[in-house]
């Protein structure tokens, strides 16, 4: 589902970067890992992605073009399948993996979403490649920690999105007398009340179930703080803690300021409410930028945004795409060329410019990116990085589905105890 | 001509179909049942499915499955009652000669030609739960018509939410039931009506004692067809509520989630087997009954 | 329900005109009123569909969704067509091939069931019928596994090709039923016997005697199969992708969630429904017969 969600970004990213992008490649430092035989390992390199449309396709195309110039001996085979979030594309990948007929590399969400593949011994660690790419000297240590499973890294991250952003309608906020972003969840609730008192019927706009999960995870991280929040996903995670309970209470209060929605509603309608002044706030990942940009609005003028925080920390709720090295890949050498490309600075620059996300590497020059992306890159360097539940960074797909189910049930019942015990049960079932 | 030569030809004609149906229907059903008893242990030693009948106990004991069954029950009851009611009502209205009969019949039937997916896209919009100022779809229409009390959260909230999911299904299939009943009415000879009228029966009595009883085989057919459709319903719910809505979840959509969200093929196979059993309980006696009465 | 009796046009039974009493006149008005009210209710979604599809995507506003367009525009149609055209072509191929093949098989089967039975053929018939009613979820997991494993050694076996096979196979039961019921009533057994006495074999009899009179049943079976293959979504979702699947899947991808462009979505709904609607309008009578045959008897 992320696919199309992000693809709307293309407009924004292209517009924002049209000026600076003309000669971006030249400025990039050469990849540390280009030690592979000049021109690549040779042979076909089949890469599976679900980037078949919009900005994601453009990003992939940019990577492919670069791959061809850097590794002319390899032949790239594009195995992109639309609709990767559901159904047959995934079934096909799963079946190919099970039948020992894997692509040479495939895309997945970095972090816990890869655990199923790891568990089934379908992908290999990429520690060597990550080390050759520069390891902790170019990737933030916190990010590396979050994508390390059992002491190994299993995917090379190629892009980063931020999940915990609250988008605001400047007009409505100034009417309510709100001038600064809230420093805590409690302060945000107070602001929501102010907005409501100023005559706005729906201070906050939300969408279907996964957007509610994203809202809840942001509240949870802000209340618990980065380390306690990240702890939740380990084996000893304490989902029955008082802090989780408090977050559920806060979340219920916040829902009280929101519009009525259906499970299947998606995010654009909710974001547009904030853009159109029907809601003052909307919490959504940074792909929401495109909705505002497409309406000709300017960040900092008609609208603005802030990350939901607490405990005096700045939090960066992250999700990332990564490429893997399947066990038994026919052309492992070619796959490594591909991984070196997507993990290298040059590849990350070309890809993220088109896709509208930011590079996980900290040594990619920010100058050619748009203003918003530059700010995000700075935050990514300085803030505490926490993994997103809704987007597979913190938990496996099955676990995240279970949490979504609990959130959907909670939307109906508003039964805090039931939600907490469902969260505890999901942890018991899926935590490694 | 010997018996063997005589019926051997029939068998040969039928053989390709017997093989195809044998493999694709009965072979696969068997394979699916086998899968449902699988034991699944991950490489790291976590038991995903205990194996055997315990797999069934696990699913049946899962509150999520029970919730899906409840949704299915509400959906089926409202859908079946709704289509039977409107189908019969429209048939009665059209069965007596009326101006524009053909036009009305076509209108009532047209939703049947549209796919569930296409209809679902429209109904997803019509059944939007927002009320008041921000209302869209039907709620917005009620707002304009000055009847805001008719606004509803539809399928999005409440214990009986699936009653609202039955509305688009009723919209699509009532015409089908109507067509069945119309053909039933047509099968009743005119003499019987005249005879009843000569006896001084009122219109109501004519329907109640003469016509309706003769429609009961048609009603049974309609009931079975509509009922089993409801149990299998997937496209419409997927299209209206999105691919993984818990609120509108029924066993058929849960199976999709089990396969592609929960990576639980075994659970999906258990669910599918139970769904087959539920449908078979309704359909098999009917097939046996109709084929026996046909032979007679 | 035999095809013959339902194919027969309109009402064989017309009520004899009688003088109307006052209460009958009141009933007539009520009857008309009810029919109009119900017709309006049924057509409401269609009204919204048509209206929205002709609105300008750029200026579309949910708040005025029920009102006539300010600026009429076909942009939505153009966009929808661009997105759906390849899938429409694939669906046409799928529905045409699958319906023709399963009708041919159904015709042969129906002939055997009705006129050339063998010991146990009745049991086979009932077993076929049950195949018509099963929830396809119950066969989906093995089916998907088989298709994917064939695909891994034969890469061309994907998308529409897979669906053609699947719809042909699962269409056999209903087609066999349609033809069996038709032959049972429309083809007198004496003709078959006569052909047999003349020394014609089973297949010759089928070609010479049965096939030429099968056209009404073919029309019914073809329409039924065409619409169900066209409208299917479940098999498409499990066995194809929006890139190589039928139009229902492509429509779902177009309308699924993130796209706020209602005019093109609604135009897409109409584009994806047009072929079956045309079939329905042009051949409505047979369409109804097809519906009827679902009722087994």
In this predicted model, what pLDDT tens digit does every residue of B203-260 receive, in sequence order? 788 888 888 888 988 899 899 999 999 999 999 999 999 888 899 999 999 999 998 8
What pLDDT shows up at residue A146? 82
Q: Nearest C-alpha of chain A: how many angstroms from B47?
A: 10
Establish if B103 belongs to a structural domain. yes
Q: Nearest C-alpha of chain B: how many angstroms from A46?
A: 23
Establish if C237 touches chain A: CB-CB under 8 angstroms: yes
Examine the pLDDT at A185 and tell me if it is beyond 90: yes
Domains within chain A, CATH numbers bracketed: 2-161+317-382 (3.40.190.10), 165-316+389-430 (3.40.190.10)
pLDDT band with cut points at 50, 70 and 90 for residue C19: low
Establish if C211 touches chain B: CB-CB under 8 angstroms: no
pLDDT tens for each residue of C232-259: 999 998 898 877 899 999 998 888 656 6
CA–CA separation, B23 and B29 (whole Å): 9
Q: For strand A105-109 and strand A43-48, is the pairing parallel, antiparallel, or unpaired?
A: parallel
| Phi then psi dihedrals of residue C136, to 5 deg | -65, -15
Sign of the dihedral through C-alpha B253, B259, B263, B266? positive
Sign of the dihedral through C-alpha C27, C33, C34, C36? positive
Sign of the dihedral through C-alpha B20, B22, B23, B28? positive
pLDDT tens for each residue of C165-217: 999 999 999 999 999 989 988 889 888 888 888 888 888 889 988 999 999 89
Q: Quick one: closest CA in B to C227, which residue?
A: B113
Buried b (16+ CB within 10 A) or exposed e, C119-156: eebeebbebbbbbbbbbbbbbbbbbbbbbbeebeeeee
Q: Nearest C-alpha of chain C: how many angstroms from A101?
A: 8
Instruction: Look at chain B and count its residues.
Output: 296
**Neighbouring subunits of A (3+ Cβ pairs under 8 A):** B, C
Examine the pLDDT at B26 and tell me if it is beyond 80: yes
What pLDDT shows up at residue C18? 55
| Phi then psi dihedrals of residue C118, to 5 deg | -130, 165
Examine the pLDDT at A21 and tell me if it is beyond 70: no
Distance of CA A313 to the CA centre of its chain: 20
Examine the pLDDT at A184 and tell me if it is beyond 70: yes
Query: How many other C-beta atoms can be found within 10 angstroms of the C-beta atom of residue B119?
Result: 25
ipTM of the complex: 0.91
What residue has token string 């292209």? A14
Q: Are A416 and A245 in contact (CB under 8 A)?
A: yes
What pLDDT shows up at residue C2? 37
Q: Kindly report, as residue ranges, where domains of CATH 1.10.3720.10 are found in chain C.
A: 3-13+75-293
Query: Strand, helix or coil at B251?
Result: helix
What pLDDT shows up at residue B294? 62
Establish if A57 touches chain C: CB-CB under 8 angstroms: no
What residue has token string 């779902």? C252
pLDDT tens for each residue of A141-151: 888 988 888 88
Q: Nearest C-alpha of chain C: how many angstroms from B46?
A: 23
Q: Are B79 and C257 in contact (CB under 8 A)?
A: no
Between these two residues, B7 and C262, which has the higher pLDDT value?
Answer: C262
Question: Average per-residue pLDDT in chain C?
Answer: 86
Q: Which of the listed ranges B9-13, B30-34, B45-49, B157-161 does the model predict with the highest average pLDDT?
A: B30-34
Flag if C149 and A95 touch (Cβ within 8 Å): yes
Q: What number is the average pLDDT over the span A83-103? A: 71
pLDDT tens for each residue of C57-110: 888 888 888 998 888 999 999 999 999 999 999 999 999 999 999 999 999 999
Closest by Cα among C91, C82, C34 to C57: C82
Flag if B155 and A202 touch (Cβ within 8 Å): no
Query: Strand, helix or coil at B161?
Result: coil
Q: Which residues contact B47 (CB under 8 A, 6 or more apart)?
A: B39, B40, B41
CATH number for position B182: 1.10.3720.10
Examine the pLDDT at A9 and tell me if it is beyond 70: no
Question: How many separate helices (H) and strands (E) can be counted in chain A?
Answer: 20, 14
CA–CA separation, A104 and A330 (whole Å): 6
Establish if B135 belongs to a structural domain. yes
CA–CA separation, A289 and B112 (whole Å): 42
What pLDDT shows up at residue C258? 60
Q: Are B232 and B225 in contact (CB under 8 A)?
A: no
CA–CA separation, B88 and C200 (whole Å): 48
Establish if B173 touches chain C: CB-CB under 8 angstroms: no
pLDDT band with cut points at 50, 70 and 90 for residue C288: confident
Contacts of B218 in chain C (CB under 8 A): 295
Establish if B148 belongs to a structural domain. yes
pLDDT tens for each residue of C43-58: 999 999 999 999 998 8
In CATH terms, the fold of domain C3-13+75-293 is MetI-like fold (1.10.3720)
Instruction: Give Dmax over CA atoms of chain C in angstroms.
Output: 76
| Cross-chain CB nearest to C239 (options A88, A101, A272) | A88
pLDDT tens for each residue of A205-258: 999 899 999 999 999 999 999 999 999 999 999 999 999 999 999 999 999 999
The token duo for A365 is 């020059």
pLDDT band with cut points at 50, 70 and 90 for residue A76: very high
Q: Are C294 and B279 in contact (CB under 8 A)?
A: no
Flag if C176 and B17 touch (Cβ within 8 Å): yes
Q: Nearest C-alpha of chain A: how many angstroms from B66?
A: 13
Contacts of A402 in chain B (CB under 8 A): 262
| Cross-chain CB nearest to C148 (options A5, A91, A208) | A91
Contacts of C296 in chain B (CB under 8 A): 221, 286-287, 290
CA–CA separation, C194 and C40 (whole Å): 55
End-to-end, the C-alpha distance of chain C in Å comes to: 4
Question: Average per-residue pLDDT in chain B?
Answer: 90
pLDDT band with cut points at 50, 70 and 90 for residue B295: low
Contacts of A120 in chain B (CB under 8 A): 42-43
Domain count, chain B: 1
CA–CA separation, B59 and B275 (whole Å): 12
* Percent of chain B predicted with pLDDT > 70: 97
Q: Are A16 and A55 in contact (CB under 8 A)?
A: no
| Cross-chain CB nearest to A263 (options B130, B242, B256) | B242
Between these two residues, A35 and A81, which has the higher pLDDT value?
Answer: A81
Flag if C118 and B217 touch (Cβ within 8 Å): no
Closest by Cα among A79, A64, A1 to A354: A64
Contacts of B235 in chain A (CB under 8 A): none
Q: Which residues contact A106 (CB under 8 A, 6 or more apart)?
A: A47, A48, A49, A79, A93, A323, A324, A326
Examine the pLDDT at A288 and tell me if it is beyond 60: yes
Contacts of A92 in chain C (CB under 8 A): 148, 151
Question: Average per-residue pLDDT in chain A?
Answer: 86
What residue has token string 């073809």? C222
What pLDDT shows up at residue B99? 85
What pLDDT shows up at residue B271? 97
Q: Are C203 and A52 in contact (CB under 8 A)?
A: no
What pLDDT shows up at residue B293? 67
Examine the pLDDT at A268 and tell me if it is beyond 80: yes
Query: Strand, helix or coil at A129?
Result: helix
CA–CA separation, B34 and B57 (whole Å): 16
Examine the pLDDT at A418 and tell me if it is beyond 80: yes
Query: How many other C-beta atoms can be found within 10 angstroms of the C-beta atom of residue B277?
Result: 11
What pLDDT shows up at residue C44? 95
Q: Where are the alpha helices (DSSP H) in C154-246?
A: 160-186, 189-197, 202-205, 215-231, 234-239
Establish if B192 belongs to a structural domain. yes
Establish if B67 belongs to a structural domain. no
Cα–Cα distances in angstroms (integers) from residue A120 to residues A85, A322, B255, in the given order: 20, 18, 22
Closest by Cα among B23, B84, B228, B115 to C133: B228
Q: What number is the average pLDDT over the span A393-411? A: 92
Contacts of A432 in chain B (CB under 8 A): 44
pLDDT band with cut points at 50, 70 and 90 for residue B186: confident
Q: What are A175-178's contacts with CB under 8 Å, separation 24+?
A: A176/A200, A176/A280
Q: Nearest C-alpha of chain A: how many angstroms from C242?
A: 6
Helix axes C121-133, B3-21, angle to 10 degrees: 20
* Percent of chain B predicted with pLDDT > 90: 57
**For residue B238, what are the domain limits?**
78-249
CA–CA separation, B104 and B95 (whole Å): 11
Flag if A260 and B262 touch (Cβ within 8 Å): no
* Percent of chain C predicted with pLDDT > 70: 89
Examine the pLDDT at B187 and tell me if it is beyond 50: yes
pLDDT band with cut points at 50, 70 and 90 for residue B1: very low
Establish if B143 belongs to a structural domain. yes
pLDDT band with cut points at 50, 70 and 90 for residue A87: low
Establish if A408 touches chain B: CB-CB under 8 angstroms: yes
| Phi then psi dihedrals of residue A282, to 5 deg | -150, 125
The token duo for C180 is 């069996």
What pLDDT shows up at residue A10? 40
Query: Strand, helix or coil at A188?
Result: helix
Q: For strand A43-48 and strand A74-78, is the pairing parallel, antiparallel, or unpaired?
A: parallel
What pLDDT shows up at residue A116? 81
Q: Which residues contact A141 (CB under 8 A, 6 or more apart)?
A: none
Contacts of A91 in chain B (CB under 8 A): 259-260
* Percent of chain A predicted with pLDDT > 70: 89
């Amino acid at each position: 589902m992320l696919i199309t969600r992000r693809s709307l970004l293309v407009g924004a990213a292209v517009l924002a970067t049209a000026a600076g992008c003309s000669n971006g490649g030249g400025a990039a430092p050469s990849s540390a890992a280009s030690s592979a035989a000049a021109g690549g390992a040779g042979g076909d390199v089949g890469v599976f992605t679900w980037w078949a449309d919009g900005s994601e396709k453009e990003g992939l195309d940019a990577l492919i073009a670069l791959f061809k110039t850097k590794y002319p001996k390899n032949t790239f085979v594009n195995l992109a399948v639309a609709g990767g979030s559901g159904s047959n594309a995934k079934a096909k990948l799963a079946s190919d993996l099970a039948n020992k007929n894997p692509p040479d590399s495939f895309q997945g969400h970095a972090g816990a979403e890869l655990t199923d593949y790891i568990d089934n011994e379908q992908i290999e660690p990429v520690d060597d490649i990550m080390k050759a790419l520069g390891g902790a000297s170019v990737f933030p240590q916190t990010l590396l920690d979050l994508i390390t499973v059992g002491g190994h890294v299993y995917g090379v991250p190629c892009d980063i999105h931020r999940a915990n952003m609250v988008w605001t309608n400047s007009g409505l906020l100034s009417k309510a007398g709100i001038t600064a972003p809230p420093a805590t969840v409690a302060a945000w609730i107070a602001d929501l009340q102010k907005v409501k008192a100023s005559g706005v019927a729906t201070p906050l706009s939300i969408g279907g179930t996964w957007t509610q999960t994203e809202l809840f995870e942001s509240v949870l991280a802000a209340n618990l703080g980065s380390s306690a929040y990240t702890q939740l996903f380990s084996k000893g995670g304490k989902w029955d803690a008082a802090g989780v309970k408090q977050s559920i209470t806060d979340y219920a209060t916040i829902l009280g300021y929101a519009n009525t929605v259906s499970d299947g509603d998606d995010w654009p309608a909710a974001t547009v409410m904030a853009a159109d002044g029907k809601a003052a706030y909307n919490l959504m990942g940074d792909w929401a930028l495109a909705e505002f940009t497409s309406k000709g609005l300017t960040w900092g003028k008609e609208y603005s945004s802030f990350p939901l925080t607490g405990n005096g920390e700045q939090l960066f709720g992250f999700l990332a795409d990564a490429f893997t090295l399947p066990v038994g890949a026919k052309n492992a050498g070619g796959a490594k060329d591909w991984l070196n490309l997507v993990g290298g600075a040059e590849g990350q620059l070309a890809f993220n410019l088109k896709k509208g996300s930011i590079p996980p590497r900290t040594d990619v020059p920010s100058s050619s990116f748009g203003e918003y992306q530059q700010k995000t890159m700075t935050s990514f360097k300085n803030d505490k990085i926490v993994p997103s539940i809704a987007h597979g960074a913190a938990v496996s797909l099955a676990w995240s589905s279970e949490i979504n189910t609990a959130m959907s049930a909670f939307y109906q019942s508003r039964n805090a105890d039931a939600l907490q015990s469902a969260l505890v049960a999901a942890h018991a079932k899926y935590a490694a | 001509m010997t018996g063997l030569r005589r019926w051997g030809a029939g068998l040969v004609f039928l053989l390709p179909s017997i093989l195809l149906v044998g493999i694709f229907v009965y072979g696969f059903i068997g394979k699916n049942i086998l899968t449902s008893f699988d034991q699944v242990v991950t490489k790291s030693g976590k038991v995903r499915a205990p194996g055997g009948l315990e797999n069934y106990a696990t699913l049946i004991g899962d509150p999520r499955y029970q919730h899906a069954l409840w949704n299915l029950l509400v959906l089926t009851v409202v859908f079946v009652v709704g289509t039977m009611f409107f189908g019969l009502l429209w048939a009665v209205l059209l069965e007596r000669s009326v101006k524009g009969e053909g036009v009305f019949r076509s209108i009532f039937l047209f939703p049947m030609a549209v796919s569930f997916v296409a209809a679902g896209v429209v109904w997803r919009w019509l059944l939007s739960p927002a009320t008041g100022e921000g209302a869209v779809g039907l709620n917005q229409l009620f707002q304009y018509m000055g009847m805001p009390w008719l606004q509803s959260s539809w399928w999005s909230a409440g214990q009986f939410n699936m009653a609202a999911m039955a509305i688009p299904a009723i919209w699509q299939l009532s015409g089908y039931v109507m067509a069945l009943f119309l053909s039933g009415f047509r099968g009743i000879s005119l003499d019987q009506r005249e005879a009843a009228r000569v006896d001084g029966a009122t219109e109501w009595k004519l329907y109640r004692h003469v016509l309706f009883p003769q429609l009961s085989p048609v009603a049974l057919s309609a009931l079975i067809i509509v009922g089993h459709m409801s149990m299998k319903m997937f496209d419409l719910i997927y299209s209206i509520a999105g691919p993984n809505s818990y609120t509108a979840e029924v066993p058929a959509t849960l199976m999709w989630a089990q396969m592609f969200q929960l990576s639980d093929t075994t659970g999906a196979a258990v669910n599918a087997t139970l769904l087959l059993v539920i449908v078979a309980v309704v359909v098999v006696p009917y097939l046996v009954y109709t084929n026996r009465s046909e032979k007679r | 329900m035999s095809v013959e009796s339902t194919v027969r046009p309109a009402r064989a039974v017309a009520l004899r005109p009688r003088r109307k009493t006052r209460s009958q006149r009141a009933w007539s008005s009520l009857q008309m009123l009810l029919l109009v009210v119900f017709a309006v209710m049924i057509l409401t979604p269609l009204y919204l569909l048509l209206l929205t599809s002709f609105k300008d995507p750029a200026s579309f506003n949910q708040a005025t969704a029920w009102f006539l367009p300010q600026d009429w525009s076909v942009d939505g149609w153009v966009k929808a067509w661009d997105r759906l055209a390849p899938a429409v072509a694939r669906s046409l191929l799928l529905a045409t091939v699958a319906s023709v093949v399963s009708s041919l098989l159904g015709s042969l089967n129906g002939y055997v069931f009705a006129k050339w039975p063998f010991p146990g053929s009745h049991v086979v018939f009932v077993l076929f019928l049950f195949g018509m009613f099963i929830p396809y979820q119950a066969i989906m997991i093995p089916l998907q596994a088989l298709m994917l494993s064939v695909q891994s050694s034969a890469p061309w076996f994907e998308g529409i090709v897979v669906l053609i096979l699947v719809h042909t196979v699962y269409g056999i039961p209903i087609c066999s039923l349609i033809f069996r019921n038709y032959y049972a009533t429309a083809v007198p057994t004496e003709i078959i016997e006569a052909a047999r006495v003349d020394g014609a074999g089973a297949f010759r009899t089928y070609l010479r005697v049965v096939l030429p009179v099968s056209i009404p049943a073919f029309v019914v079976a073809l329409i039924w199969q065409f619409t169900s293959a066209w409208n299917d979504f479940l098999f498409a979702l499990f066995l194809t992708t929006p890139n190589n699947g039928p139009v229902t899947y492509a429509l779902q991808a177009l309308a699924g969630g993130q796209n706020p462009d209602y005019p093109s979505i609604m135009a897409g709904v109409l584009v994806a429904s047009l072929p079956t609607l045309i079939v329905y309008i042009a051949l409505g009578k047979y369409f109804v017969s097809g519906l009827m045959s679902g009722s087994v008897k």
